[in-house]
Amino acid sequence: MIEKYKSEHLYEWMVEIRRKLHRHPELAFEEIETAKVLMEQLTKLGISYDYAGPGHAVIGKLFSKSAVAPVVALRADMDALPGTENTHLPFASCMQGRMHACGHDAHMTMVLGAAALLKTSPPPCHVLFVFQPAEEKGGGARVVLESGALQSVSAIFGGHVTHHYRVGEIMVADGVITAQSDRFKIHIKGKGGHGARPHEATDAIVITGLLITALQTLVSREINPVYPAVVTIGTVHAGSAPNVIAEEAILEGSIRSTLPEVRDHIHTGLRRMAKAIGELHNAKIDIDITQGYPPVVNTTRESQIAHRAAEKVVGRTRLMTLDHPSMGSEDFSYYLQKIPGCYVRFGARRHEHEYIPLHSPEFDLNEEVLKVGAAFFDEVIRETAQDYLS
């Protein structure tokens, strides 16, 4: 049973918007129709906005009467994921190969709900409602920062739905929340040949197997167990026929870590192992490592503000803590490198529902979370204004 929230009267409206967004997911930097829906709703609410076109953010603006009032931002992500939805919902994605498997449709709706509450009862601060493109791929947060739209922002807040918690629970924590994310690509060049004459070839697939096994020891045998780290090989492409020894193989993977020194050690170790295995088997191995999103690190003051806001909305017993940082990544981290802020998590699972991970084709959420998110974002703006003006 979900208790009454300040946003209760907005629930049916929010559900309608969320389902409309869910039906029409758009990939990173392609959020054209999504932006149109958001601008339409902001216009109905009487909130002005800026939009520079596809690939950019929709930024709603609610101004205080005081020129010296602080500027506080709320952020929601707009993009969906590639994938085929398998929820069988009546409002499931109608866009082939695209789905909102990460809850961004809910995030946008929550911030719109907060905008409706804040418009009705304006806080003593300026508010920016930042609907950002391309969180999943491309780091849309950097596009927003480079535009200069957030230069005057004093604090920024965002959040994410999760099945790790039940509806009505909010996780707020100070410090590191998510991991650093890097990607790598390994190109193995051997010598092709006939499957019946392996002595005449250098088998890229055999080398691939050795390298995959070796890389797992980077974390299990070279990183202090108390420091979170993950090395994952996500794709392997090699071979052309059952009786042909593969000349080339390409591996792609990701690295997750929370400490710079751990990240550096994994990068160095990856190159060291690839070089050694290449020399051992007379193959050429090239590695390209692409730096991903930095870790999300909440600032102390803003975490305390978010904690107070969450307690007012859901009560102390439903405030969750974070024992260990998530090994996922999130480009909200770019904002926190420039602006103080806090990133929270909203429980989106009913007690009787099974856990379904984000990015799963079966992912859906309990829409009651929309009330919680809208009420929290409304309250965190008011708490921030009070804290900054006191």
For the chain, the straight-line distance linking the first and the last C-alpha, in angstroms and rounded, comes to: 37
CB 349 within 8 A of CB 167: yes
Residue 180 has a CB neighbour count (10 Å cut-off) of 23
CB 78 within 8 A of CB 108: yes
165 classed as catalytic: no
343 classed as catalytic: no
Tokens 């559900």, located at residue: 15
Measured on CA atoms in the order 137, 143, 149, 154, is the torsion positive or negative? positive
Say how far residue 320 (Cα) sits from the centre of its chain. 19
Alpha helix (H) residue ranges in the chain: 11-23, 32-45, 104-120, 140-147, 204-220, 260-280, 300-314, 332-338, 369-389
160 assigned ligand-binding residue: yes
CB 127 within 8 A of CB 59: no
Q: Which of 293, 334, 335, 343 is catalytic?
A: 293
107 assigned ligand-binding residue: no
104 assigned ligand-binding residue: yes
24 assigned ligand-binding residue: no
Q: Residues near 339 by Cβ (< 8 Å), separated by ≥ 6?
A: 73, 150, 153, 154, 155, 156
DSSP code of residue 346: E
187 assigned ligand-binding residue: no
Q: Name the binding residues.
A: 102, 104, 136, 160, 359
Q: Report, as residue numbers or ranges, the catalytic residues.
A: 293, 367
Q: Name the binding residues for Mn(2+).
A: 102, 104, 136, 160, 359
